[in-house]
Amino acid sequence: MLRVEDLHKSFDDFKAVNGAHLTVESGQLVAVIGPNGAGKTTLFNLITGQLQPGRGRILLNDEDISKLPPHVICRKGIARSFQIANVFPRLSVFRNVQVSVLSQQKLSNKLFRPASQIAVEETGRILESVGLVDKKMDLAGSLSHGDKRILEIAIALGNEPELLILDEPTAGMSPDETATTMALIQRLAADQGLTILFCEHDMEVVFGTAQSIMVMQQGGTIVQGDPQTVRHNTEVQEAYLGDE
Amino acid sequence: MFGELIRQKSFGVSLAVFLVLLLAPSFLPRFYIYLLAVIFVTALLAMSLNLCVGHGMLFQFHHGVFYGVGAYTAGLLLAKTSIPWWMAFVAGPLAAAFAGLLIGLFCIRLNKLYFGMLQISLGSLIWAIAFRWYGLTGGDDGIHGIPIPDFIASTTGSYYFVLIVLGICLFLMYLILKSPFGSTLQAIRDNPERCAAVGIHVRHHQLKTIVIATFFGGVAGVLFVVVEGSIFPDLLFWVLSLEIFIMCLLGGWFTFAGPILGAAIIVSLRTFVGTYTEYWTLILGVILILLIFFLPEGIMGYNYRQLFRSRTKYAHDSQME
Ligand SMILES: Nc1ncnc2c1ncn2[C@@H]1O[C@H](COP(=O)(O)OP(=O)(O)O)[C@@H](O)[C@H]1O
Ligand SMILES: [Mg+2]
């Protein structure tokens, strides 16, 4: 479904992404791992159009999307969350999710119908599936860090994506919250047949959940494969597992 | 579609105020009726600006230009052609919205302050045309004694006309802010990057907002002609744009009705304290400094919301369904 080929991105002289390769098959749960600064966030920003690559191709269902702006890429079926909680702080939790549902249903430009009567069911269903129904009246800015991260995922679900990209969905969470969030992600993948690509710097979190793992270091891909293959790859052991 | 609106607590209050204002000409002296009409016109102008500023975080620094374009279009058509009055009245807002689209197309490429700066330069071009093109616009003097249709020519007649048009426009703006379009606009205000990532074409949405806001600004311009029967270049001058910007900040720019309050305060001050003199800009400057001084984070942040929580409803209150 998604194929990233030899991707490069430099900030001034610094090569943040330097030869990244990635394949995501439909229905898979794929993880990108690598230490902080490996270029995971930059890779995701390239895929979803926040950044433009210097070189390389990003193919979504065989179409090159590497030059498209974020909103077009989203409409092609990729939704995402951000590493730093990125919600609409002055809007209610409900409206946060509704905004993306409205966008998905191409209703964002409706002028004279009250939004409170549109897409209510769909929005409610999403809030229920992530467990935020009780807080739907709260202002998003007033949520706890963990809830903001969950809300992020809910906003992305509003787009009914083919591919859901999550940038360190458990960053800054307590061990409990981390477990809940990983369970949620696995449930979304299983129940809704979502294809999910996420990244993590914590190995533990990844090996239990992902079907395919891509290991990044200094902007480049070391290897991608199933957890067994990755665990036994000597290069990975030297470069990554070795320092633990 | 009206049900939700009628259930709102503030709806009853608004209706009561509207009824009192309908009766006002029977007990207020003529001068105050005139002053109220001026406040209504200015309130509509400030409300239209706040669609951009408060709800869209678009720094529409020279919104007065679109007011001027609306007023000049209607005024010139009434004074120099024989087309029916209502066509002139419709042409005003349309011309303003068209000017909004043209200037917006250039400005929208820039962010925040740069957006506002470019708008000031482009707006000043339009002011210069009104100021210099003596043959058409009467230059510095403007045009006075513009023929207004009889039924709204008297002080009371124009008062009622302005009041009713203001009521309709406020109702429409309210609907727009509560609509999916308005919700999306407020989401863009809060976080444009996130909006793009959920598939919203941020710049298009902002441009549409500018066109809508400048349309209402043009309506206010037409109402000005109805009340004053004249047009002059000060309508497009930057001082007026600063005034209405301050009205939004003063009244509460994250609230729905805040700019009306701001307009009432500033217009009253202008009427009783000073007209367009150097002292008036000084007073405006002091007001702006006081605002920034007492609400240091208010200009960009949440303070207005806390300050006005008890007094005015938020534009996005009904999100708390
Ligand atoms: N906008 C930017 N400008 C300059 N350097 C950047 C920028 N974004 C990321 N970097 C650098 O690129 C490297 C990779 O960053 P990032 O993709 O955030 O890594 P990760 O998400 O794997 O922790 C880091 O060294 C970071 O400092
Ligand atoms: Mg990162």
pLDDT in tens, A28-53: 999 999 888 999 999 999 999 999 99
Residue among A4, A13, A42, A222 whose CB has most ligand 1 atoms within 8 A, to mutate: A42
d(CA A17, CA B243): 49
CA distance B56 to chain A (A): 12
pLDDT score for B303: 44
Lowest mean pLDDT among B20-29, B106-115, B273-282: B273-282
Chain A residues touching chain B at CB-CB below 8 Å: 48, 50, 69-71, 74-75, 79-80, 82, 86-92, 94-96, 98-100, 102-104, 107-118, 137, 155-156, 158-159
pLDDT score for B12: 82
pLDDT score for B10: 73
pLDDT score for B126: 86
CA distance A125 to chain B (A): 16
Mean pLDDT (whole number) for A117-124: 94
Report CA(A39)–ligand 1 centroid distance (Å).
6
pLDDT score for B295: 55
pLDDT in tens, B93-151: 999 999 999 999 999 888 878 888 888 888 888 888 888 887 788 877 888 889 999 89
d(CA B7, CA B11): 7
B191 touches chain A (CB under 8 A): yes
CA distance B50 to chain A (A): 17
CATH of the domain at B224: 1.10.3470
pLDDT category, B278, cuts 50, 70, 90? low
> How far apart are the two ends of chain B, measured CA to CA in Å?
15
Report CA(A87)–ligand 2 centroid distance (Å).
17
CA distance B181 to chain A (A): 5
Residue B228, pLDDT above cutoff 80: yes
pLDDT score for B261: 87
pLDDT category, B8, cuts 50, 70, 90? low
Residue A201, pLDDT above cutoff 80: no
Residue B4, pLDDT above cutoff 70: no
pLDDT score for B315: 37
pLDDT in tens, B150-181: 899 899 999 999 999 999 999 999 999 999 99
| Per-chain mean pLDDT for chain B | 85
Residue A191, pLDDT above cutoff 60: yes
Q: What is the 3-state secondary structure (H, E, C) of chain B?
A: CCHHHHHCHHHHHHHHHHHHHHHHHHCCCHHHHHHHHHHHHHHHHHHHHHHHHHHHCCCCCCCHHHHHHHHHHHHHHHHHCCCCHHHHHHHHHHHHHHHHHHHHHHHCCCCHHHHHHHHHHHHHHHHHHHHHCHHHHCHHHCECCCCCCHHHCCHHHHHHHHHHHHHHHHHHHHHHHHCHHHHHHHHHHHCHHHHHHCCCCHHHHHHHHHHHHHHHHHHHHHHHHHHHCCECHHHHCHHHHHHHHHHHHHHCCCECCHHHHHHHHHHHHHHHCCCCCHHHHHHHHHHHHHHHHHCCCCCCCCHHHHHHCCCCCECCHHHCC
CB-ligand 1 contact for A46 (6 Å cutoff) = no
| Number of structural domains chain B divides into | 1
What burial class does residue B20 get, using C-beta atoms within 10 Å of its C-beta: 0-12 exposed, 13-18 middle, 19+ buried?
Answer: exposed
pLDDT score for B313: 37
Q: Which domain holds residue B161?
A: 2-320
Residue A15, pLDDT above cutoff 60: yes
Residue A1, pLDDT above cutoff 70: yes
Mean pLDDT (whole number) for A86-104: 95
Q: Which of B172, B179, B189 comes nearest A114 by C-beta?
A: B179
Q: Which of B199, B201, B321 comes nearest A94 by C-beta?
A: B321
What burial class does residue A33 get, using C-beta atoms within 10 Å of its C-beta: 0-12 exposed, 13-18 middle, 19+ buried?
Answer: buried
Residue A198, pLDDT above cutoff 50: yes
Residue B287, pLDDT above cutoff 80: no
Residue B184, pLDDT above cutoff 80: yes
> CATH number for the A1-77+161-244 domain, one of 3.40.50.300, 3.40.50.620, 1.10.10.10, 3.90.1300.10?
3.40.50.300
pLDDT category, B238, cuts 50, 70, 90? confident
Kindly determine whether residue B198 and residue A159, on different chains, have CB atoms separated by under 8 Å. yes
Among chain A residues, the shortest Cα distance to B190 is held by: A88
> How far apart are the two ends of chain A, measured CA to CA in Å?
33
Show which of residues 53-112 on chain B sit within 8 Å of chain A, judged by CB atoms. Answer: none
Q: Which of B179, B186, B190 comes nearest A112 by C-beta?
A: B179
C-alpha dihedral (B128, B130, B131, B133), degrees to nearest 10:
100
pLDDT score for B113: 83
Protein residue with its CA nearest to atom 7 in ligand 1:
A11
In chain A, residues under CATH classification 3.40.50.300 are: 1-77+161-244
pTM of the complete model: 0.88
